[in-house]
Structures are given as C-alpha cells and as structure tokens.
Amino acid sequence: MTSGRDGDAGSRRSRTRLAACCAGLTAAALLLSGCGGGSSDSASANSAAADSSSPSPSAGMDDMEGMAMGDPSATPADKIPDAEVVKGTFKLLDTRPPGMDDVKGTALLAQGPKGTTVTVSLTGLRPGERYMSHLHDRPCATKGGGEHFQFDKGGATTPPNEVHLMFTADKSGMGMTTVNNDRKTGKKAVAVVVHPMEAMDNRIACADFDF
C-alpha cells in the first residue's frame, strides 16, 4: 500500500519531468526559428523539428555547420560569371546589442546559371565572436526585415530552403563569407539581416537589396 507521502513525491516527480520536457521543446523551437520572428516563424520551426531532413531538436547550432552556411574563400557574388548582381548597404537596427554602434558593411546577391550566391562583409564586429545572417522577405523598414525568406514557404527553417551565412569576426572585427544555393530567389528575398550567433533576437543590422 502506498502512503500519502509517497504519492505526493511521485506526483512532484511527474510534474518536474513534464516541465523539463516542455522547456526543452520550447528551446528547440526558438533555436530553429532564428532572428526572433513572429508566430509564423514559430510554426515553421515546429514544422522543421518534425521534418526528418532537419537537425534533431536536441542538436545545437554547431550541428548545422555541415549544411551550406558559407565559405570565406568562395568566389564572391560580384565575381560570379554571367550573373545579375544587386547590392545592399547595412544599416544599424534599434534591436542591436550594446557596443555595436560601429558595425557597417555591404551585402551582394547574384543570380546566374548556377542559382543564387550571397556575400556579406562587415566591420565593427566583436573580434572572435560568431555571427549569422539570413535572407529576409521584407524591407528593413518593415519589422527589421520581417521573416526569413524561404524558397518553399512554410517549409524547413534550415538550408537549403533558407539561405544562412555563418561566420566569425577576425581580430580586427571584420567578418565576411559567401554562400551558394542551387535555386534562384528572384526578387522575393529583398533584404539580409545579421545578428550575433548566441542572441538570435538581437538583430544588429539590415541591408536592402537595390533591385
């Protein structure tokens, strides 16, 4: 026969396990959504978590590095043969973390026979820190670029359905990288946003492409 005290202890253990499970699922959804988007971002994140082609919900951002997320030595967008290139200049956002008032740089988007190539180059970053950029589907003046651009709307929140660029600032605070995607964005990817890798909600700067 189980005493009332034992029953209470068992109930507390059950509630603790349930709370831990819910916290883990919430963290995974936030990690996959990136850039702190709205409710549709969260829905996309949950969809991606269930997609077998996406990283497991327990995986960190480090586990995404096997995906196409940039190569500093790759041919930059403005050097791609037979491609149409548009440029954007980064402008600071009010959501930037403290101490990042000197960040500036450019973004290039090329579309050619081999798909889309994006290059970002920034200065004024914190030396040695990692950063992430994404293509976005709204101008910078609209909620800091709105949500992530997706080739298949409502699909996976990871490459290749989205265009992500991951890079580390050098000792001078400069960071740059280039990424390629086999598909063309057309004019639907209108901006690119950069933020610290460890603080997805803190958008530092945004660049509108001059289509």
Tokens of residue 188, six digits: 């639907």
Written as tens digits, the pLDDT of the chain (211 aa) is 544 545 454 444 545 444 444 444 443 343 344 575 443 333 333 333 333 333 333 334 444 545 789 999 999 999 999 999 999 999 999 999 999 999 999 999 999 999 999 999 999 999 999 999 999 999 999 999 999 999 999 999 999 999 999 999 999 999 999 999 999 999 999 999 999 999 888 999 999 999 9
pTM above 0.75? Answer: no
What gap in Å lies between CA 194 and CA 113, rounded to an integer? 27
What radius of gyration, in Å, describes the C-alpha atoms of the chain? Answer: 20
